[in-house]
A and B are shown apart, each in its own frame.
Chain A
C-alpha cells in the first residue's frame, strides 16, 4: 500500500501511541527491575532507543524497507528538531522565570541603579541605564559598520583586483577573532595609546570589530547572488560601474543585506567582555557616549548575576530577558524595513502600486483611464477602479 508522505493517518497515530507506551513500560522495567540503573536522563535515552527499535520492528511487519527507513528517519529527525527547540525554549523560559520578579515592576524599565543597593526590594531601581546604553552602542556600531561592511562586500564582489582574495581571507580570519582580543585591541590603541577615556564610543568600536567580518562575509554572499544578467543589462544601457552597483545590485540585494546586518547586530549586541574592558560598568544612566562608563544589558546582567543577593540575581535575569525582547523587536523592525526580495510586493505595496499606476496613466494618457470623471481631483486614489479586482 502506498504511503502518503505528507499526511498522518489515524493508524499511524495509533501505532505511534502504542509503540510509545510499550517503550516507556520496557524502559521502566529495565530501570526499576532488571538493572541497577537509575537517573532520569538515562531513562529518557533508553526509552527513546527502545521506541525507535520497536517502531522499526513494528513497521517492518506491514511496510516495505524504504517505508521503514522513511519512518525511522522521520522519528529521528523530528526528535532532533524537538531537542533543539526544547533547549532553546528552556533557555528563554528559564531566563524569564528567574527574572520575572524583577520584570513585574514598572520601575525596572524606568529607573537605573544609582541609588538602589543590592539588598533593596525590587520595587526600586531598574536597568534603564543598560537599555539606553545598549541602544546607543548598537546604534553607533551600526553607523560605523554598515557603510564600511557594505563597501567592503561590494569591493569583494565587484573588483577584479588581486587584493580580493587576501581581503576575503583576512575577513574570514576575523570572524574567528575572540571578542576579548577585540576589546583588548581597542583598549590598547584607543584608550592607552590615543588617550581617549573609556566610554560607550570605545565599546562601540570594539563591538564594531566583532560585527564587521560577519556582515561582510554574509553581504559578500548575498551580493554574489545578484544575477550577472542584471549587471549586464545595466551596463548595456550605458551605466557606469558604480551606478550599476548603486541602482541595481544593492537594491536587488536589499533584503539579503538586511539579513546580514541582523546577523552582525545579533553578534554585537550580546558582546560582554569588550564592553567591560573598553567602557566598564556603570550603575547610572549615561547619555554621553564619549565620556564615562556606559552600561550595556549583557554587562549589567553579568554584573548583577554574579552578586550573592537574590534580588540582584533577579535583576540580572531581568536584564537578560529585556535583552532578548529587544533583539526580537529590533529584528522585527529590520525585517519590516528591509522588506521582501526585490521585485516582490506585499498586498499593501501592490495596492499602492496599482493606485500609482493609474495616476501615471491618468497623467500620461488621460483619455484612456476608465471611469474618467474622478480624474480631476482624485487621480491618485480612484477607489472605484480598485474595487473591480
Chain B
C-alpha cells in the first residue's frame, strides 16, 4: 500500500514547483518522484509566551501524500500541525517564527485571511467533536457557511461526504438524528465527513484514531488511503504501526533540553520517506524511537 502511495503522484501531470528544495533538505528525496509542494516550512519556531515549544523545523509537505508526524508526547506535533491552518491564532500566547508557505503564499502574511485558510485546510481533532446538531446539519454546516442553500446541492454534498467517510450506510436512515447519538468511531467519521464536505485541499488529523477501537481505526486508515488521491493529509499519531501503514512520509520529532531555559523544546529530528524512517533511519534517536527503545 505504501509503495503505491509513493508512486501515485506521478499521474499529476507536470508538477509546478514553487520552491526548489534546498540542498541537504532530506537526502533521499531525490530518489522518489516528488509531488507538488503544498506546505514549505522553513525555520519554523513556535512559542507559547516565552516558552519555545518547537525549534527550527524544516519540511515540505507534498500533494496527495500522507505525511505522518510521530514523536514522544510534548514534542510539538500538535503545535506544528495547528500552525498549518492557523489554529494557533486562538491561543493568545502562541507566536510563530519562520515561514510556512502554502503554495508559495506565506500563511502568516498579515494580508492572508485566516478564515479562508481554515476553509481550505480542514482539521480532524483528537477527540470527536460533532456539533450538537443532526447528522445532516453537521455535514452541511461547512457548505452552508460557504453559502450553499439549495436543498438538492446540500443533499448531494452530504451524501458524498458521508460516503467518503464510509459512514453513509450506517446513518443514511437517521440523518436527522443527533450526531451525538453515534458511537465514538462513528462520530469521528462524521467529523471526517464534515471536514471533507467543504472540499478542502488539505486535511490535518491530530491523532484521529486515539479514541477508537481497532476496527474503527482500520476503517479510518482505509478511508485515508481512499481519499488521498483527492486530498493532502497530515496525520499526527502515536501509533508507529499506523504511521508505517498509512503514510508516505514521516516526520520524527523529539524534545531536547533547552540550554537557555531548562525547558524541553521540540525539534524535528528527521523527515523522510516512511519506508526509510522505519527501515534505515538516518538518526540514532529515530532508530531508538521506532524500535521502541525510547520515548
Contact = CB atoms under 8 A, between A and B. Distances in A.
Interface string B147-173: 000010001101100000000000011
Interface residues of A, number: 37
Contacts of A361: 172-173, 175
Interface residues of B, number: 43
Contacts of B92: 160
A238 B132 contact: no
A5 interface: no
A357 B116 contact: no
Contact of B122 (A227, A236, A343, A365): A236
B224 to A, nearest CB: 18
A353 interface: yes
Interface stretch (A139-147, A244-252, A258-266, A314-322): A244-252
A143 B172 CA distance: 41
A230 B177 contact: no
B62 to A, nearest CB: 22
Nearest to B116: A238
A239 B90 contact: no
B172 A365 contact: yes
A182 B2 CA distance: 72
A236 B141 contact: no
B155 A360 contact: yes
A183 to B, nearest CB: 41
Interface string B97-123: 000000000000000000110111011
Interface in A307-361: 341-345, 350, 352-354, 356-358, 360-361
B239 interface: no
Contacts of B178: 343-345, 353
A171 B155 CA distance: 46
Given A238-B115, A361-B172, A229 B132 contact: no
Interface in B4-46: none
A237 interface: yes
A364 B155 contact: yes
A252 B87 CA distance: 22
B244 interface: no
A317 B205 CA distance: 65
B136 A360 contact: yes
A239 B122 CA distance: 11
A177 interface: no
Interface of A: 160, 227, 229-240, 243, 247-248, 251-252, 341-345, 350, 352-354, 356-358, 360-361, 363-365, 368
B172 A368 contact: yes
Contacts of A239: 115, 141, 145
Contacts of A344: 132, 178, 180
B159 A230 contact: no
B208 to A, nearest CB: 13
Nearest to A240: B115
12 contacts: A160-B92, A232-B123, A236-B122, A237-B198, A238-B146, A343-B180, A345-B178, A356-B175, A357-B173, A357-B174, A360-B155, A364-B155
B195 interface: yes
Contacts of B180: 343-344
A239 B123 CA distance: 13
Given A251-B132, A342-B132, A236 B176 contact: no
A342 B156 CA distance: 26
Nearest to A345: B178
A341 B127 CA distance: 20
B172 A234 contact: no
A360 B176 contact: yes
B163 to A, nearest CB: 10
Contact of A356 (B87, B90, B127, B176): B176
